[in-house]
Structure 1
């Protein structure tokens, strides 16, 4: 599409993603070097991952098993035979100057992933998912990729198992990519093949183009001819869900602005500057022929299609969410929160096995996750203290402390100061006030506040809240507000 013809046309945004996921294995994909992160650069290397002459790759079986698990989770086809190729391209952080990857026979093809966008569920097609080796990492000193004083290379990451997941161009808004990446990360975490806490564990390249809206079919599909005629840009070096959304929002606006001014969109590769939230030109866009793929002679073809039946995968987030609704009677919102990560879901089921399911949902989904989110923390930050959280739920379930004190004093004290729940209860004297003490406090509150009593008797139901507050103050907050409310009404209505 020319710039002139597009200038006044209604345009549709078309986005596809290439998501690079580090697979969680003990050793690299083609050698025995460890993948455990370290602060010491260039210490986890060997002749194979350094590309020294005569060093031969040996495929890591665990990486292939992880790839098959991903294939099953996205309902992909796993072919009878898959093989590796050499991708010839200059990588300053991959010492042998080619990458062992998969080309036309990937380990997974034609999958899909269902996501929720704006309350509506839709399916994103996944064209392929293939195995390859990760390059090393670059540290740009004194600036960023385009203005650094110099660059340091760390080869520790070179050779880490990587799975590249390539979607179909099914996204129409940048916001949709964020939903997809969040869902994909959930699935990978449930499978146990991915550790989001690792630096660089998930990196995204995004392709965006604009096409005339009248070229989009009623079902949302776009022909290959239309896509081929649109000049697309590839945005690289995106490292987060939010970053993907921000980069694509900028790129969408940049291309629309060019077309409004009658200028052509160049087909190019651009770098995402996370600090400024913008993209900058890196180079012209490579084509497939530029990589000069040819078969990797040092690795034989793989026959792993039967592994799809032999390798099991755990219950995935969507299935678990539906089961939580059916089995525990939870709302869709609560079930979604409780299945956001496998660790959260496992902890909820552990609590619900001993206490009321609704009480467990309230304390895990609302109280615990809410307080963690407020502190910019995750469940992984308190995974060694979940028994203490469970003990707090026990105190509430046994009616030993009020839910208000449990949340506002005990839980917050646990997270802020690291104290154990029983220690906080004892130190703050939060044991629940007995019925006789509550009754005495109710009598005192009524006698000391005749105006509020008169307001209540005149039909001002809000006055009861003032009286509840007076009783709670007299009991040091250790009375149950609901019980106080009942006792006050019973006394006032006599």
Structure 2
């Protein structure tokens, strides 16, 4: 077996596989933040804050607890094997519930209403009574050491071009704290995100291709946005994908930020599993095995490798393990820029080491050929064997090399079940798949009665597009831009206020985009400020041509009213007589051109007239008067 990938290195690995033959099945878990006024179990706002604005901080250590049956979840147990301190950034709005110093309040009624709307859109059946459960989470992302979650509905479905995808469950839960950065002793989180209402939509494993995974995610995303009560922007929606092939294993890929990447991520995981199965088959032929860890510190006494020498300073130790029959396979690429050895390193890093060394890549990093020979001899490795090694303080070194050995044994078996974190279109090991032992009842929050009978499903975004085309005569592209855009509600309010629909649509989409590109802080304008500007337009006090300048002035001067901004910039609408005077002046100044070219001079003179008026007159009015004046002289 070659140690090189069997795909075109310039192509896209994974997409050339026969998914039906491989037995691909996949399911989605969509996590979407709700745009409610308050958090799920307290009255704190759901607005995000900058870490630099934190007012105080505190630290915690978290440990796993046993389930009601006395079991400890395997994923939580592995998290606990790494001693870490968690630091939390709190804000002036942070309450005792968020700090886990006070029991949670009742579940937010607005969040319940929204999630029932989502259930209706997904054709799901709500359960009679929602009971909040605790889901054990000790990675520091929740101050309590668990996440509160409630099943709201089940048994739904969506349609894709490749067939029906059933929706297994709909959960309402609290969002985790936002990870800020790593510290020397652990991880730092910010509490502004903790507790924001979050819906989790889980499909059954009905998806059989990467393209269908993307289509299903897009459909669910459209339904969620149709409620008008979900947050928008990076990080407000995340997709987890569960992927397996017939001879592989279920792998949970967490943290897909972009819908556009889902098909590539699924294809990449299929390719990874195919490569791991090929490695398994080769290891089986070689009758591979894994030896016991050995202390090889003496091999590197006086080494010229600065990396190893630094790790061994003080009480550092070098630990190695013989990988029998693995020669050439540890360096085998299983995803772009990721090899089997990278998988080993993922597991080792969980125990606080920087990475691993292995003989498929040595000599390198200052390690000499003679040191490689001595390393092989120290662990009794033959030419057919590989050797993996870590260098660190004694305790992490011992734990890390054992983790490498465990992962090597899993490679002999094939594809391990695990949870992986997505990095663009590849992934890295996070932890084992969690089990049922991490769930137990929440005794501090009373159950909630659910009733979907009076829930009115909202208009779908696809239906809005059709309505904007038919009712407002928008072209298809502009109608879709507005319906799926951030300012759809503003557009509808402007039309209701009497603004021409096409002008309103172009303003909230094209004009806003152009102003942002020009460096105008357009995000400073809320919908009310836009509507006040539109009111001046419909009253004839500002022209269509002057509206962009008015919006720019309002964005840059938040203390000005729209009327004050219009006066400051001289954007008031000119009367017909004033417009005619300016048009006549421009025509007379260019009398020779008009006499020579007649209406051929219109385009150039129109621009001159509009410039002289500074946006204080509508283009149609100026055009009509200019044509009259040219015709008089033609």
Given the two structures, how large is their TM-score scaled by the length of structure 1?
Answer: 0.67
Secondary structure in 2 matching 1:71: helix
1:219 is matched with none
Rounded Cα–Cα distance in structure 2 between residues aligned with 1:425 and 1:47: 45
Structure 2: runs of 5 or more not aligned: 8-12, 57-88, 281-333, 335-414
1:345 is matched with 489
Distance change (3 Å), C-alpha of 1:159 and 1:417:
closer
1:141 is matched with 182
Secondary structure in 1 matching 2:126: coil
Partner of residue 203 from structure 2, selected from 167, 170, 174: 167
2:535 is matched with 391
Say whether the 8 Å CA contact 2:135–2:439 is kept in structure 1: yes
**1:282-361 to 2 correspondences below 5 Å:** 282-283=429-430, 285-286=432-433, 290-292=435-437, 296=441, 298=443, 304=449, 307-312=451-456, 314-340=458-484, 344-345=488-489, 348-361=492-505
Rounded Cα–Cα distance in structure 2 between residues aligned with 1:480 and 1:474: 13
**1:74-113 to 2 correspondences below 5 Å:** 74-80=122-128, 87=135, 90-94=138-142, 101=149, 106-112=151-157
2:240 is matched with 205
Rounded Cα–Cα distance in structure 2 between residues aligned with 1:434 and 1:121: 61
Rounded Cα–Cα distance in structure 1 between residues aligned with 2:616 and 2:97: 63
Distance change (3 Å), C-alpha of 1:260 and 1:492:
farther
**1:459-478 to 2 correspondences below 5 Å:** 463-476=601-614, 478=616
1:421 is matched with 562
Rounded Cα–Cα distance in structure 2 between residues aligned with 1:166 and 1:376: 41
Q: How many pairs were matched up?
A: 437
Deviation, 1:83, is 5.2
Deviations 1:425-467 (A, max 9, x none): 333434444445544554554454466436635xxx6542112
1:67 is matched with 115
Deviates further, 256-265 or 441-450: 256-265
1:453 is matched with 594
Distance change (3 Å), C-alpha of 1:429 and 1:158:
closer
Deviations 1:238-278 (A, max 9, x none): 4x44xx545764674575488589657645432234xxx46
Rounded Cα–Cα distance in structure 2 between residues aligned with 1:65 and 1:308: 9
Deviation, 1:92, is 4.1
Deviates further, 93-102 or 462-471: 93-102
Rounded Cα–Cα distance in structure 2 between residues aligned with 1:439 and 1:452: 19
Say whether the 8 Å CA contact 2:175–2:196 is kept in structure 1: yes
The question of 1:129 aligning with 2:170 is answered yes
Say whether the 8 Å CA contact 1:125–1:167 is kept in structure 2: yes
Distance change (3 Å), C-alpha of 1:489 and 1:279:
same
Rounded Cα–Cα distance in structure 2 between residues aligned with 1:445 and 1:439: 10
Rounded Cα–Cα distance in structure 2 between residues aligned with 1:89 and 1:472: 63
1:19 is matched with 30
Deviation, 1:151, is 2.0
Distance change (3 Å), C-alpha of 1:167 and 1:332:
farther
Say whether the 8 Å CA contact 1:441–1:475 is kept in structure 2: yes
1:213 is matched with none
Rounded Cα–Cα distance in structure 1 between residues aligned with 2:447 and 2:197: 16
Distance change (3 Å), C-alpha of 1:377 and 1:332:
farther
Given the two structures, how large is their TM-score scaled by the length of structure 2?
Answer: 0.54
Deviations 1:356-382 (A, max 9, x none): 444444444543565457659777842
Deviation, 1:91, is 4.5
Secondary structure in 2 matching 1:308: coil
Deviation, 1:128, is 1.9
Rounded Cα–Cα distance in structure 1 between residues aligned with 2:152 and 2:467: 31
Rounded Cα–Cα distance in structure 2 between residues aligned with 1:234 and 1:358: 45
Rounded Cα–Cα distance in structure 2 between residues aligned with 1:472 and 1:342: 32
Deviations 1:218-256 (A, max 9, x none): xxxxxxxxx554545433244x44xx5457646745754
Deviation, 1:97, is 5.4
Rounded Cα–Cα distance in structure 1 between residues aligned with 2:194 and 2:582: 70
1:270 is matched with 420
Secondary structure in 2 matching 1:128: strand
Deviation, 1:4, is 8.8
Deviation, 1:186, is 1.7
Secondary structure in 2 matching 1:453: helix
Say whether the 8 Å CA contact 1:208–1:252 is kept in structure 2: no
Deviations 1:283-303 (A, max 9, x none): 46516xx33366638499968
Structure 1: runs of 5 or more not aligned: 143-147, 210-226
Say whether the 8 Å CA contact 2:118–2:223 is kept in structure 1: no
Secondary structure in 2 matching 1:385: helix
2:620 is matched with 482
1:44 is matched with 95
Say whether the 8 Å CA contact 1:44–1:156 is kept in structure 2: no
Deviation, 1:487, is 3.8
Rounded Cα–Cα distance in structure 2 between residues aligned with 1:229 and 1:378: 53
Deviations 1:144-196 (A, max 9, x none): xxxx65224667866665431123554734865774575255235x2x4x444
Compare CA radii of gyration and give the structure with the larger one: 2
Say whether the 8 Å CA contact 2:26–2:241 is kept in structure 1: yes
Distance change (3 Å), C-alpha of 1:185 and 1:462:
farther
CA RMSD of aligned residues (A): 4.9
Secondary structure in 2 matching 1:292: helix
